[in-house]
Amino acid sequence: MIYFKNKTTGEVFAYETTDERDKYGASDLVEMTADEVSAHLNPTPTAEQLASNERIWRDRQIAVTDYLAMPDYPLTDTERTDLYTYRQALRDWPASTAFPTVDNRPQSPVWLVQVLGAVV
């Protein structure tokens, strides 16, 4: 696949060959560089998209720990405190200055990772 763009509008077109591009009367399109194609196929997410993705992750983390937060779930006092602290950190995270950077996500307690595995 060869990617071409209209220099005036920025529209992107893909053809199997240059001859195919010419066949459809699009000879005024210029071939895109490898970097341009990569940027087109893998656009940098917007701030809104990053924030949305991180809220989805955060909501999922809260949901997968809901059953553990039930008063009758057998946790030690320390584990229960850790769990409640983690869940509150998840709720507070969108208001944090570190949001939505993935590296700054609230860290789950080690024991929680052991209980839930790769989910957290």
The neighbour count for residue 109, using CB atoms within 10 Å, is 16
Shortest CA distance to 98 belongs to which of 36, 31, 50?
A: 50
Q: Is residue 37 a contact partner of residue 64, using CB atoms and an 8 Å limit?
A: no
Shortest CA distance to 93 belongs to which of 62, 66, 49, 118?
A: 62
Q: Give the pLDDT confidence score for residue 120 in this predicted structure.
A: 64
The percentage of the chain sitting over the pLDDT mark of 70, rounded to a whole number, equals 98
Q: Give the pLDDT confidence score for residue 76 in this predicted structure.
A: 95
Domain segments of the chain as ranges: 2-41, 47-119
Distance CA 63, CA 69 (A): 10
In the structure, what pLDDT confidence band is assigned to residue 27 with cuts at 50, 70 and 90? confident
Whole-number Cα distances in Å, 97 to 9, 55, 120: 37, 14, 22
The percentage of the chain sitting over the pLDDT mark of 90, rounded to a whole number, equals 79
Would you say residue 20 has pLDDT above 70? yes
